[in-house]
A = this chain, B = another copy of it.
């Protein structure tokens, strides 16, 4: 009757692949922007180890959302405007990729998550969810970029 961990399986698809690439790409782009360089799609895909064409799609969404700025042509690429890095929250990146359908998702798949009609897992799940909510809404792109620049965190492997 060995139970043991398994937690990682539960939270396995926390972000979609598209979202993972978007966040990692945004962090890399922001770090390059700090050094005054634009990042090309090819650079990005190499540095975050992601499929190039698929990553391009997510970058287009970030661009349309105004989170990053794209420039065509030689020496073009993607950048994050300096004053934006601290303003952009991780929640905004997720919103840009997964769309703006704001609804309340129940952990056990009920139609809506609500206090009036809670599933059996609701009361235990809610505090964890709120904790995560706090984090994604209060962490800026700049917050995540700084560790990368200092070499303490990584974007691939």
Contacts and interface: CB of A to CB of B under 8 A. Distances in A.
Interface of A: 1, 3-15, 17, 19-21, 23-24, 27, 66, 87, 89-92, 94-95, 98-105, 107-111, 113, 117-122, 124-125, 127-129, 131-133, 135-137, 139, 144-145, 147-148, 152-157
Nearest to A109: B20
Contacts of A105: 8-9, 11-12, 14
Contacts of A152: 118
B154 A91 contact: no
Top 5 A-B pairs ranked by shortest CB distance? A20-B109, A7-B133, A120-B144, A6-B95, A120-B153
A17 B109 contact: yes
Contacts of A7: 91, 129, 132-133, 136-137
Nearest to A124: B135
> Copies of this chain, how many?
2
Contacts of A135: 124-125, 128
Given A6-B94, A6-B100, A110-B156, 5 more contacts: A6-B102, A7-B91, A7-B136, A9-B102, A11-B132
Given A7-B91, A8-B102, A15 B108 contact: yes
Given A120-B27, A145-B120, A9 B98 contact: yes
Nearest to A111: B157
